[in-house]
Structure 1
Amino acid sequence: MLLRNLISRAGPDVVQTGRSLARWTEAPHGVRVHLEDRTTGEQQDDLHGELLVACDGINSVARAKLYPDEGSAVWGGTMMWRGVTDAARFLTGRSMAMAGTSAKKFVCYPMQDHGDGRMRINWIADLALPPDTDWDRQDWTREGRLSDFAPEFADWQFDWLNIPWMIQNAERIWEYPMVDRDPLPQWSFGRVTLLGDAAHAMYPIGSNGASQAILDARVLTRELMRHGRVPEALTAYEADRREAVNALILANRGDGPDKVLDEVAARAPDGFDAIEDVISDRELAEVAAEYKALAGFDVDALNARGPLIGM
């Protein structure tokens, strides 16, 4: 849907695959982007535009050229395995479940209701691993092995959720190290800026990988409408977003709102029958509200910023 709408607005050539950024050259009134074939490295046709917005992910080529001494992403010691499974509907059918602690955690939520009592469920299993683990083998398409993590969750079966069954019956499983990058002192350089993970890759807590990129795009759009397609728009966008998102990178290293799992485990090491006996609804709401405010998810605050149209 996104691709179709983009093409309808910007034309059929707006998306070009199989290319990568080689370098760019800034001119007084624009940027010339030099591309190369992603497989062969052969030089491709240059592109010219007024601004270059690099949103090329945690392994951003543009970021590496702006910060050549930064090196690889920072691993926090946790490996994640992700999968999708068609399984029985649980709780409300719209619930997100988190079980465990920061050292061993399982998260799942529904993506689609099949209408027959079964749902398409996305899940993530986290394990803290020894410091000498070979985490840097990730190419973002690495298939996971059940033997590496499934035994740790073998007895995680509840009357409302069968985690071992869900893991064993996944369509496919993918392995990802939990990595981020240190906060940057600057995103925008003349007519070039960073956006999304290229600017602020963080641990995938609170769905912030995608959410913060969306907020970036919203603010960048607003500033382009205010200032035009000029460097001042990029500077204003960064001034609005960078410090707030840098704080979120550091907060996610402290496990963000998921820290309640460790708090509950500390208060009830032998388990519990009802979560309300361990931590109150008020405490949970306070943790959630604090994180929503930090992440920019507070509904009233978002609505108060007003629409983009007409700015």
Structure 2
Amino acid sequence: MTAKAIDPPTLELNADQLVDWLELAALFDPYRTARVDSLLASLKQLSEEAEENIGEANRGVEQIINEIENEIDLRRHHLGDTYPFRLGDGAEELQIVENWDEPRYSFYLVCLVTSHVTGSPILKIPPSGDLLTRLRNQIFQVLATLAMAGLSGGPAISVGWPRRSGEPIVQLMERAAANGAGFGIRTPPGQYTPPEEKDGGIDVMAWTPEMMPPPSNLLFGQTASGNNWPGKPVSEHARVFENNYLQDIMTGNRGHATIIPFRIWDKRFWQAQNLMHRSLIDRLRLPPHAYKGLQQALHGMMVDEADRVDSVVEWLREYRAAALA
């Protein structure tokens, strides 16, 4: 059944992609297990066919084993209790936890699938149709809002369109101000605001919790679930948004984050893009932040979208069933 959903591994996949391959294989496997030794045997065969020197090929496989183990350890270290996979004794198999569809694990799994929606060398049947529309417009927005709440340790509002609450931006900003965001609202908005503007390029706003305004930090977030995310920093949108909708901002510290589902393998690219975007919330950061944001909501903090966590879990189940149909 797994073969319906994913393509066989190839020698072109780096260690990061090979671990993704194992994770997706475990997600789709009826026994929730991906055999690492089977993956390595497949790669070894491909390598032997491509290399006349068998000894050189064997050394390459040993290196791959170490890289896979290191990548799994890194993910487990960063993600903690939100990582849904366990590496068996002897590193022979990767198994997904039995309760993989609980919220704490679904955050990572949705990111894993989302990062392979387009141009994937692994995922044969990515989300499409209504599943893809819901992923782009609803599900990833839930994750982003929760993650920004967890990052700030405080309230978060969902600004992105389509907005479930249906609130106009001015009304949404009034609710934020009433919950300690620390600014006044332009009513009506600034004269250069486009008449049909839906969200001003901002998907999430969050701020640090204080006994009284202003918050120590005011954060602007933008979701970017597609492969064109490197060219979409939120900071310029935030500057225009402030001019159009806010006034008397009491907080000097502004934060900006782009929320993406990807695991960035290239360290130099990762560092450069953090400079460009101010900060990136990627697949290694989003799940623990989102889980923390959910806990904050359960303890009474205003965190938009927290009541939609069940829709994330349901989407994941629906997609898995569709991929295996």
- Shorter-chain TM-score tier: under 0.3
Larger helix proportion of the pair = 2
> Structure with the greater relative contact order (CA < 8 A, sep ≥ 6): 1 or 2?
2
When normalised by structure 1's length, the TM-score is 0.24
Structure whose residues are more often strand by fraction: 1
